[in-house]
Amino acid sequence: MNTETENIYKELGISDKVYRFSKEILDSLKQRFCEIDQTAEYNQLKVIKAMQDNKVSEACLLGTTGYGYNDLGRDTLEAVYASVFHTEDALVRPQITCGTHALALALMSNLRPGDELLSPVGKPYDTLEEVIGIRPSKGSLAEYGITYKQVDLLEDGSFDYENIKKAVNEKTKLVTIQRSKGYQTRPTLSVQKIGKLISFIKGIKPDVICMVDNCYGEFVERLEPTDVGADMAVGSLIKNPGGGLAPIGGYIVGKKECVENAAYRLTSPGLGKEVGASLGILKDFYQGLFLAPTVTAGALKGAVFAANAYEKLGFAVVPDSAQSRHDIIQAVTFGTPEGVIAFCKGIQAAAPVDSFVTPEPWDMPGYDSKVIMAAGAFVSGSSIELSADGPIKPPYAVYFQGGLTFEHARFGIMKTLQSIADAGLVTF
């Protein structure tokens, strides 16, 4: 029955051996994929219910210009986000330019000079180092007299409760918890674990604001951090919740006061959420959110497929083939630059856009080694679309994520397998 499919894989450069190896791996994942589909089903219904409860109408899909007063679509979308995340309020705007901006906004608007910020889960995402002032930067929190404390995770990835307790003091105003491992090797935190950490911290200091960097985590589980006590969750619309359709944007969901502070900072004191024209972007925000649960599920299946394929070939993978998933990122350690480069070339060759481009390692600003990146995305830099990158330094690991459809993610991984085989790094 599959001759046409096998033939088109062949036309796309996949050998019989790689095809059969991939097929075998996939056949072993039926149960796993079924569980992912069940989560997607629940989350799809959660999103539809939020849209219905908030009476999304055709008029909501149109935008405003100028000041953007009385923007029905924008205000309704924010109500929909608040319903999906079970929060009092939400700020969802194209004027929030990326995930880092959303996080910076949430932090800067809710902290005041003399306050202290605490990360009880180790070093935050690279770009936040300059926001906080861990690496000096103009306009950092440090410049405004906001101090920072960090408690690293223990060797086994668990929370260092003893030192967290010691770190919370009278100045501690906000606790930032990064859900995803980002580009580190620590485990990603499950929503349940985040809930436990928040309870512990609130037990010490009930009025502390608990914020979760939710990037890459949305819709991977049925619960979100705001279901387990987070006062704010923050993320990017060119990752999971934009469903691949949002061309820009970020969100902050949470307690009314926290969101209001953020809105006053984003626009201006006194104006807050009242201004900010949505222009023509709302249809993509709504439709992207509508697609986000199944798009995330496809990306998740791609990550599981890759973990199983590369583990079988003898490479170290994080998370491993069987571990439960709490974000969409997959790391594969090759141990050689050639492996990282061949993998990225495979991802690029599978792209719908720019498939003919050959990615090369380059000196990217802000990194201390060369980095190779593969992406052929409809939205520039979108990492819910299939993409990969790896710093050219030991342990020579590649991080990849995304895929708007599982079929594309699967094909992308098959191209990487073909690419590393063609480079003579494995035999099938």
Ligand X SMILES: *Cc1c(COP(=O)(O)O)cnc(C)c1O
Count of CB atoms situated within 10 Å of the CB of 318:
19
Is residue 242 near ligand X by the rule CB under 6 A? no
Task: List the one residue from 215, 404, 414, 420 that touches ligand X (CB under 6 A).
Answer: 215
Long-range CB contacts for residues 108-111, cutoff 8 Å, separation at least 24: 108/141, 108/144, 108/265, 109/261, 109/262, 109/264, 109/265, 109/266, 110/173, 110/174, 110/209, 110/211, 110/232, 110/258, 110/261, 110/262, 111/141, 111/144, 111/146, 111/173, 111/174
Q: Which of 95, 90, 132 is nearest to 111 (CA)?
A: 132
Rounded CA separation 61/296 (Å): 23
Task: List the one residue from 26, 29, 123, 127 that touches ligand X (CB under 6 A).
Answer: 127
Looking at 157-165, 176-184, 349-357, 384-392, which segment touches ligand X (CB under 6 A)? 176-184
Least distance between ligand X and beta carbon 96 (Å): 10
Is residue 376 near ligand X by the rule CB under 6 A? no
Cβ closest to ligand X, residue 73 vs residue 250: 250
Cβ closest to ligand X, residue 78 vs residue 213: 213
Strands 371-375 and 387-391, by their bridges, are antiparallel
Strands 232-236 and 250-254, by their bridges, are antiparallel
Contact 376, 357 (CB under 8 A): yes
Cβ closest to ligand X, residue 342 vs residue 377: 377
Least distance between ligand X and beta carbon 358 (Å): 24
Cβ closest to ligand X, residue 83 vs residue 226: 226
Single-letter residue type at 61: L
Rounded CA separation 418/282 (Å): 40
Backbone angles phi, psi at 174, to 5 degrees: -140, 140
Is residue 178 near ligand X by the rule CB under 6 A? yes
Is residue 184 near ligand X by the rule CB under 6 A? no
Is residue 213 near ligand X by the rule CB under 6 A? yes
Cβ closest to ligand X, residue 44 vs residue 127: 127
Binding pattern for the stretch 78-117 against ligand X, x by CB under 6 A and - elsewhere: --------------------xxx--x--------------
Cβ closest to ligand X, residue 125 vs residue 334: 125
Is residue 182 near ligand X by the rule CB under 6 A? yes
- Name the site residues for ligand X (rule: CB under 6 A): 98-100, 103, 125, 127, 178, 180, 182, 213, 215-216, 236
